[in-house]
Amino acid sequence: MKSHLATKASCIRCGAAVEDAEHVLRRCPGSVWVRGQLGRLLPWISASAPFRHWLFGHLQNRDNTLFCAMAWNLWKWRNSFVFEQVPWQPGDVMRRIHLDTVEFHRLAQGTQRSNPIASDGINSVMLYTDGSWNPQVNRMGSGGVLLDEIGCWICGFAASLGGGDALKSELLAMKKGLTHVWEMGIKSVTCYTDCLEAQQIITNNQDVDTYWHKDEIIAIRALLNKEWRVFVNYVPRERNQVADALAKLAVNENWDWKLWSQPQPTVISLLCQDVLS
């Protein structure tokens, strides 16, 4: 109010008597919810610490990109409500935080941003896949997320796959993900899996006639031989959290096929974790 940024001192979002910077970033219920979603990715600083100590403690952290993205969007959330009377939904705030985390991280790393969209579609994408198998119900699940070359969400998918085993679930997740990318018309993709065995089987030229899962292996190799550029790389499990969560969700929900054009709030913290790791 002192800086003429509002006509009254109270918070028009939650009705608190005083809306200062601490309230916007730390006390308003919406901000508390957002921080709760991201809490384990941020350094722990006591909620009872003085606001200045809390703020500078986060800003002085070596990797403060997530906190900066969060604080910036909490401030924009408040301003959108005050000046434009446009109340963002919490899920929208989380999606904006993810996009800014990707951008801030790119700037911090000093990498160049090229245009991911070419005349023939998306020029280069990253596909993260994972499989899950629950022996208690004998059900497999596949999950995956497709990101553009700087890490922004294109789509996510999940599907239940019936009975099988852990390796088969990994192979089928890769097959479903690559098939979907091919059907989108994308001509360049790097596929990441956290199953080293699956990655090695797919990328070497060894004979698989005696393998239990030879049909899945042959089908994936056939996909790789289409007229496009595909790389299959291993990625540590801690950098594949979104695909892992979607695969487990598919086992529990028993979906035939589920596709998301926007990331759900429940996976956005995992997307940020994958970026920062």
Q: Answer yes or no: is 13 within a domain.
A: no
Q: Are residues 79 and 195 in the same domain?
A: no
C-alpha torsion angle, residues 264, 270, 276, 277 (rounded to 10):
-150
Q: Are residues 151 and 249 in the same domain?
A: yes
Q: Are residues 249 and 147 in the same domain?
A: yes
Q: Answer yes or no: is 215 within a domain.
A: yes
Q: Are residues 97 and 126 in the same domain?
A: no
Distance, CA of 14 to CA of 80 (rounded, Å): 14
Q: Answer yes or no: is 67 within a domain.
A: yes
Q: Are residues 149 and 94 in the same domain?
A: no
Q: Are residues 97 and 183 in the same domain?
A: no
Tokens of 63: 């990797």
Q: Are residues 171 and 211 in the same domain?
A: yes
Q: Answer yes or no: is 5 within a domain.
A: no
Q: Answer yes or no: is 226 within a domain.
A: yes
pLDDT of residue 116: 42
Residue that finishes a domain, picked among 54, 80, 109: 109
Residue that finishes a domain, picked among 109, 133, 157: 109
Q: Answer yes or no: is 3 within a domain.
A: no
How many domains does the chain fold into?
Answer: 2
Distance, CA of 208 to CA of 214 (rounded, Å): 6
Q: Are residues 103 and 146 in the same domain?
A: no
Q: Are residues 105 and 142 in the same domain?
A: no
Residue 191 burial (10 A CB sphere; 0-12, 13-18, 19+): buried
Would you list the DSSP string of 142-211? EEEEEEETTS-EEEEEEEEEES--HHHHHHHHHHHHHHHHHHTT--EEEEEES-HHHHHHHHS----TT-
Residue 86 and residue 80 in contact, taking contact as beta carbons nearer than 8 Å: yes
Q: Answer yes or no: is 84 within a domain.
A: yes
Q: Answer yes or no: is 7 within a domain.
A: no
pLDDT of residue 119: 42
As a whole number, the mean pLDDT across the chain is: 87
Domain holding 56, by residue range, is 21-109
Mean pLDDT for 2-10 is 62
For residue 126, the tally of other CB atoms under 10 A from its CB is 19
Tokens of 121: 């579609």
Would you list the DSSP string of 27-79? ISHHHHHHHHHHGGGSPP--TTS-HHHHHHHHHTSSS-HHHHHHHHHHHHHHH
Q: Are residues 82 and 195 in the same domain?
A: no
Q: Are residues 271 and 145 in the same domain?
A: yes
Residue % of the chain over a pLDDT of 90? 49
CATH number of the domain to which 224 belongs: 3.30.420.10
pLDDT of residue 111: 57
Mean pLDDT for 143-152 is 90
Residue that finishes a domain, picked among 58, 89, 109: 109
Residue 115: DSSP 8-state: -
pLDDT at 179 over 60: yes
Q: Are residues 235 and 139 in the same domain?
A: yes
What tens digit of pLDDT does each residue of 49-74 get?
Answer: 899 999 999 888 877 888 999 999 99
Contacts of 261 (CB under 8 A, 6+ apart): 155
What tens digit of pLDDT does each residue of 252-267 get?
Answer: 998 889 999 988 877 8
Q: What are phi and psi of 133, to 5 degrees?
A: -140, 125
